[in-house]
Structure 1
Amino acid sequence: MRSAQPAAPLRTLLVLAAAGLLLTGCSGGGRPNGLPGDTPPSPGGTASAVPAGAAPLQPLPEAVPAELDSYYHQQLSWQPCDQGFECATFKAPLDYGHPAGGDLTLGAVRRPADGSGGAKRLGSLLLNPGGPGGSAVQYVEAVAAGYQPPVRAAYDLVGLDPRGVGRSSPITCLSGDRMDAYTAVDSTPDGQAGIDRLVAADQEFAAGCQQHAGALLSHVSTVEAARDMDVLRALLGDAKLNYVGKSYGTLLGATYAGLFPSRAGRLVLDGAMDPSLTALSGNRAQAGGFETAWGSFARDCGTHEDCPVGRDEQQAGQQLDALLGSLRSQPLPGGGGRQLTEAQAVTGVIEAMYAEFLWPQLRTALAAAKTGDGAPLLRLSDSYYERGSDGGYPSLMYANMAVNCLDLPPAFASPADVSRALPDFRQASPHFGQDMAWMGLTCAYWPVKATGAPHTVRAAGADPIVVVGTTRDPATPYAWAQSLAGQLASGRLVTYDGDGHTAYGRHNDCVDSAVNHYLLEGLTPAEGLRCPK
């Protein structure tokens, strides 16, 4: 699995693969606009204490600066598109610190509220599936019909592709065949030759992004994407932003609340990220999350007659290690002239950790691999990267890397740093820790220096913000939701005691009811609400 930084929970239930479940700064010297200041926040929310040592995100001035006035007063022209949806584009400055320096074109989609049952219209509800790099346009088109009727009746469901993604000036980096090669590179190198190949792959990826994305590569931060959302809010005619963000979408939503607390409306942050973490600590924690999810899969697998990895967690781990070890020296046929490497097998396993409905597919894929057929596991890996049937890749992974490398300083500066950290990663995750440690090296070779840093989000003055955490979430560990809810002055934590990545819209009546009452009536969930599986 090749991604850049801790947020590489690539997606909310893999952005669109499981969408049926409902599935900024300025360039130049000084601190970027809206990034952390120097005064520590006081504890808030209803969960864990605010982390020490991370400065708070500072709000921007409430008045729109004169140099941005033209952006906030554009006219949106919604046109029919994509099977009953409406699409529009608008402009945002490439660099909010220097708006005269050029524009970006951003794309959005909406499903207008249907007003059924005489429902009162509540404005727009922006949705974001995560990533970074997930297309909110595609996500809304995939999940709008799955939202419960009262929400569809009251809200226009809106998807805005973040800058660098999908219909919003997408980033591209590699050709399809070179991306195939990149996903196959050994991410558990044993010797110097393997390390050199891994470093060369990361350098090729970074150089490709620099070549094709140009100046955009310096302006795809989460802060800038949050500022784009405020422009769209104004163009939609909403006094406040109502929003449901999943996975990385929670960081985007929390950032919006921190920058514009008085304009934060009903925000739901599901599968929360913790902005106070460094890239290193986030990667290590996420490795532990996938280890926990593998344990849940293994225990469940043992209850099925077709389980190919034994009857208990220990046997399952041994079988997985044996498979990965064999792939290190001898890849398996993957169909269409391709092969399944160890790195792709790990990615395929991790893909299935995002949602329980993928566990039967993983059992089948592991059984096939034991008979010498790597195609099913390779299909899972391809799904993670959203590789198309034509061998092409969307902007997902390219934007993922670009945003992550801009938002935080790299986890490691050199292969030697990774080697020193391996024992801690292996302790956190015996099966995935080594891979995820080496993933943290990618941003060391990025051509643009990070403009962000670990910080907390206080968002003092914002309306109540609902944070949803799943106890055995693989990609965004539950502790992150506890931390984010604790940082937010008005945070309220809803806990789902279950498996998989994110909870809202996954057919848990307790979670769905709490979130829907909040979205429709403004009723904050009960403090300490815990929803059983």
Structure 2
Amino acid sequence: MGAFTRYATAGALVLASLPVAASARAASATAAPAVTGAARADVTVPEAWGTLIAAGRAGKRGIAFGDCPESEMLPESLRCGTFSVPVDYAHPFGPRIELAVSRRAATGDAAERQGALVYDPGGPGAASITFPLVGEWSAWRKTARAYDLVGYAPRGVAPSPALSCRRPEEAAGTPTDAPQQPSYAYKRERIVLARAYTDGCVRAAGPALRHYSSLDGARDLDVLRAALGEPRLTFMGTDQGAYVGALYATLFPSHVRRMVFDSPLDPDARRVGYRAGLARSRALESRFGDFLSWVARHDDVYGLGTTADAVRGHYDRLRAEVSRNPAGGTVGTAQLQAAFLNAAFYDDYWAMRASALAAYAQGDPEPLVTQASPRPYTAKGDENADAVRTAVECNDGVWPADWRVWDRDHTRAARQAPFAAWAGAWANLPCASWPRPRQDPLDVRTGRGALPPVLVLAAERDGVTPYAGAVELRRRLYGAVLVTERDAGSHGIGGADNACVNTHLETYLLTGRVPARDAECAPHREPNALALNRAVPRGTGPQHILRGDPAPAGS
């Protein structure tokens, strides 16, 4: 679909003029319900008028669904199209971009149909183009009878016009070191690399770079709603996708029909950005400990010791060895870290990673090499995902510019969370030199009567989006109800392996009913302890589809 259309100010219109305001009112009258409640403060700014204009335009144009591109290798049951959004909502008649969208039509009869269900897997940097395929899975079959299942690629994410901040080959093919106790020289090297990455993002996107944000993502979502012909939005979002939904609920409460927030980010404006990264490193450390304890409980299978400390010892020795001699010539400590982070994200990786660790301890590096080596054929997609993640997170949050603050805080964090603290620092460090202007995070909050009932889902031990964020979101959205999967930690629980969670989700989507009060579910069954000596094919289960794979590191 070509490179991202660059932002230009030439010919842009100032929306404060009366003729433009009148056209915005006319567009909103045909395309969307009136913006009320918490969104009132936003209608005075140009972006609000721009959203109304873009939504009105999209409502008239619709989406011409047809065959999906052959390059996407999607089944005929999915139909694909595009919808147009402004690069800058303050200038809705300026440059636009076409965002890719997919749809699987509802399988039920006309009496069952309830409209479209849009899904955003978050990341940021993931697309949900394959999401409609979940309609084939038992947990989603009733929902698929009632809804057109709709996925899309947010701005910057392929197959929409893709952002990239460096050549993909720079990030693939060579083993790299990521010490848990970095030296002064290593830190200086990472500062240089982070600044170079920021410069690459600026060169790639120019002034449009600041429009890769969750706020612009929420506005894009309203344009998609209008393009689909939906007077109100039915939506499910995971991770940062849930944050986009929370912003949407704050900006456009009267446009909400039903919303599910799965494993949401903490929406407190004081914790969006830098503080969220520090909290995530602590949660990932705890979840990695859950993995180690599970391996220890299955010493009869893996032979790595009967305590979490014993298993950790094997992992630390592996780190030391691949730091000196990369496994297979391709897996250094950075690749090892990325692969085992998957185990802290999702427990469906536990058996694979434990098998690789056990095999290496017995002198066989091949399973580790197979699982953790960089894959040149995914390098372009990996870099695209990383570029969008970086841009959105840097634009969304508050980040210190002073390296001394980063060094102090991550040195402290690494004492308690050595597994993930510095890895998180390096991933986010481009935000220290990110160009201004920067926006302040929106205060996510709705009052009584602003929203219909909405549903929040969260696992108690989620390492990616700590559980406290779900509690905070439920508190801020008046009338929201929280369903908790206790003593579990896989990231993204809706439609996955827990029948109790899925019953709440399905009931809500089909009827609009939420539990009378916050509800709890017992944990889903832990993975089977199997000695797996090869990687499981990527994208074979519903959660891989929901996560917007195909390329989690080391799968």
Q: Match for residue 320 of structure 2?
A: 325
* Structure 2 residue 60 is matched with structure 1 residue 73: yes
Q: Match for residue 193 of structure 2?
A: 201
- Structure 1 CA distance, aligned partners of 2:41 and 2:454? 16
Bigger-Rg structure (1/2): 2
- Structure 1 CA distance, aligned partners of 2:365 and 2:391? 31
Q: Match for residue 289 of structure 1?
A: 283
Letter in 2 for 1:268: V
Q: Which deviates further from its counterpart, 431-440 or 236-245? A: 431-440
Q: Match for residue 259 of structure 2?
A: 267
- Alpha-carbon distance change, 327 to 452 in structure 1, aligned in 2, over 3 angstroms: farther
Q: Match for residue 159 of structure 1?
A: 151
Q: Match for residue 515 of structure 1?
A: 505
Task: Provide TM-score, normalisation by structure 2.
Answer: 0.78
* Structure 2 residue 425 is matched with structure 1 residue 401: no
**Does structure 2 conserve the Cα–Cα contact (< 8 Å) formed by 1:408 and 1:454?**
no
* 3-state SS in 1 of match to 2:327: strand
Letter in 2 for 1:511: V
Q: Match for residue 359 of structure 1?
A: 350
- Alpha-carbon distance change, 331 to 208 in structure 1, aligned in 2, over 3 angstroms: farther
* Structure 2 residue 491 is matched with structure 1 residue 501: yes
Q: Match for residue 3 of structure 1?
A: none
Count of matched residue pairs: 471
* Structure 2 residue 96 is matched with structure 1 residue 103: yes
**Structure 1 residue 187, shift from structure 2 partner:** 5.6
- Alpha-carbon distance change, 295 to 57 in structure 1, aligned in 2, over 3 angstroms: farther
Letter in 1 for 2:406: V
Q: Deviations over 1:387-411 (max 9, x none)?
A: 553643342111111111111122x
Q: Match for residue 333 of structure 2?
A: 342
**Structure 1 residue 251, shift from structure 2 partner:** 0.5
**Structure 1 residue 296, shift from structure 2 partner:** 1.4
Letter in 1 for 2:316: D
Letter in 1 for 2:347: E
Taking only aligned residues, the RMSD between alpha carbons, in angstroms, comes to 2.8
**Does structure 2 conserve the Cα–Cα contact (< 8 Å) formed by 1:109 and 1:137?**
yes
- Structure 2 CA distance, aligned partners of 1:231 and 1:454? 19
- Alpha-carbon distance change, 214 to 493 in structure 1, aligned in 2, over 3 angstroms: same
- Alpha-carbon distance change, 379 to 201 in structure 1, aligned in 2, over 3 angstroms: farther
* Structure 2 residue 291 is matched with structure 1 residue 303: no
* Structure 2 residue 167 is matched with structure 1 residue 179: no
- Structure 2 CA distance, aligned partners of 1:373 and 1:210? 44
- Structure 2 CA distance, aligned partners of 1:359 and 1:439? 24
- Alpha-carbon distance change, 293 to 112 in structure 1, aligned in 2, over 3 angstroms: same
Letter in 1 for 2:342: E
Q: Deviations over 1:32-89 (max 9, x none)?
A: x9xxxxxxxxxxxxxxxxxxxxxx9876449966744434422321113232211111
- Structure 2 CA distance, aligned partners of 1:145 and 1:351? 25
* Structure 2 residue 81 is matched with structure 1 residue 93: no
* 3-state SS in 2 of match to 1:333: coil
- Alpha-carbon distance change, 76 to 125 in structure 1, aligned in 2, over 3 angstroms: same
Identity %: 28
Q: Deviations over 1:328-354 (max 9, x none)?
A: 3x14233xxx42121221111111222
Letter in 1 for 2:361: K
- Structure 2 CA distance, aligned partners of 1:182 and 1:351? 20
Letter in 2 for 1:489: Y
**Does structure 2 conserve the Cα–Cα contact (< 8 Å) formed by 1:119 and 1:153?**
no
**Does structure 2 conserve the Cα–Cα contact (< 8 Å) formed by 1:268 and 1:465?**
yes
Q: Match for residue 311 of structure 2?
A: 316
**Structure 1 residue 302, shift from structure 2 partner:** 1.3
Q: Which deviates further from its counterpart, 163-172 or 253-262? A: 163-172
Q: Match for residue 473 of structure 1?
A: 462
- Structure 1 CA distance, aligned partners of 2:248 and 2:506? 21
- Structure 1 CA distance, aligned partners of 2:394 and 2:455? 28
- Structure 1 CA distance, aligned partners of 2:360 and 2:225? 49
Q: Deviations over 1:289-334 (max 9, x none)?
A: 1112112111211122233542112222333233323433x14233
Q: Which deviates further from its counterpart, 189-198 or 219-228? A: 189-198
**Structure 1 residue 445, shift from structure 2 partner:** 2.5
* Structure 2 residue 525 is matched with structure 1 residue 530: no
Residue of structure 2 aligned with 1:488, choices 453, 477, 480: 477
Letter in 2 for 1:494: V
* 3-state SS in 2 of match to 1:302: helix
Q: Match for residue 51 of structure 1?
A: none
Task: Provide TM-score, normalisation by structure 1.
Answer: 0.81
* 3-state SS in 2 of match to 1:171: coil
**Structure 1 residue 103, shift from structure 2 partner:** 0.7
- Alpha-carbon distance change, 100 to 197 in structure 1, aligned in 2, over 3 angstroms: same
- Alpha-carbon distance change, 258 to 462 in structure 1, aligned in 2, over 3 angstroms: same
- Structure 2 CA distance, aligned partners of 1:415 and 1:320? 30
- Structure 1 CA distance, aligned partners of 2:190 and 2:438? 22
**Does structure 2 conserve the Cα–Cα contact (< 8 Å) formed by 1:418 and 1:438?**
no
Which of structures 1 and 2 has the larger relative contact order (alpha carbons within 8 angstroms, sep 6+)? Answer: 1
Unaligned runs of 5+ in 1: 1-25, 28-32, 34-55
- Alpha-carbon distance change, 530 to 348 in structure 1, aligned in 2, over 3 angstroms: same
* 3-state SS in 2 of match to 1:495: strand
- Alpha-carbon distance change, 375 to 227 in structure 1, aligned in 2, over 3 angstroms: farther
* Structure 2 residue 409 is matched with structure 1 residue 421: yes
* 3-state SS in 1 of match to 2:465: coil
- Alpha-carbon distance change, 274 to 139 in structure 1, aligned in 2, over 3 angstroms: same
Letter in 2 for 1:290: L
More helix by share: 2
- Structure 2 CA distance, aligned partners of 1:202 and 1:58? 39
- Alpha-carbon distance change, 374 to 86 in structure 1, aligned in 2, over 3 angstroms: same
Letter in 1 for 2:80: C
- Alpha-carbon distance change, 100 to 505 in structure 1, aligned in 2, over 3 angstroms: same
**Structure 1 residue 190, shift from structure 2 partner:** 2.8
